Amino acid sequence: MDLKTINKSKNMNLIVFGSLLHPDELYKHGITNDMIKYVKVSGYKRVFDQEPSWRKSDSIYRAVMNIKQEKNSWFNAIAILNLSKEYFKSLDIRERGYDRTPIKDGKVTTYENQILNDCIVYVGKKGKQNNEIYPNKEYFKLCSDGAKSHFEQFEYDYINTTYYYKEKKLTSIVCQ
């Protein structure tokens, strides 16, 4: 399914993996608990390597979250269910440093091991990726607090499937 197909198709499930893990951020966008599922996405790696488009930056501490295709990797996330194409108009502005990208059916499963199809995700634009920057400190806290706010296994998975600066595992700074 290409982006043209997405724009003409039925409602989609949006996979969020960064600041939108935080309940306050979801709420700002009109998302309630009955609209989400906790999921695992295979074939991708989550990494702080994206140059910010609108967040304030501080020299080397400016990276925001991104995902990259990587065959043997996975990350956990939240799926916002059944969103209409109208919903994406304002979200596309917020996520202007990313491309809205379809995820191949069968790559997203819930924590209850159910397959969730018809998913899309925002993937960082190639020209904005930089693995020699550290996470934006405020953004890092927002994402970490968001992961922590759900349930213990979700937070554990977030810490163990997130990378930063030159492919270091997030566990190397969280567990110090």
Q: Measuring CA to CA, how many Å separate 65 from each of 4, 95, 138?
A: 25, 11, 12
For tokens 């999921």, what's the residue? 39
Q: How is the chain split into domains, by residue range? A: 3-167
Phi and psi torsions of 107, nearest 5°: -90, -10
67-76 pLDDT, tens digit each: 999 999 999 9
CATH of domain 3-167: 3.10.490.10
CB 73 within 8 A of CB 160: no
27-70 pLDDT, tens digit each: 988 899 999 999 999 999 999 998 876 545 667 788 889 999 99
Strand partners, 75: 41
126-168 pLDDT, tens digit each: 877 888 888 888 889 999 999 999 999 999 999 999 998 767 7
Q: Is the pTM of this model over 0.85?
A: yes
Residue % of the chain over a pLDDT of 90 = 57
CA distance 31 to 24: 9
CA distance 5 to 3: 5
Helices of type H across the chain: 3-8, 23-28, 88-94, 137-148, 152-160, 171-174
Nearest to 14 by CA among 23, 27, 31: 31
CA distance 13 to 120: 6
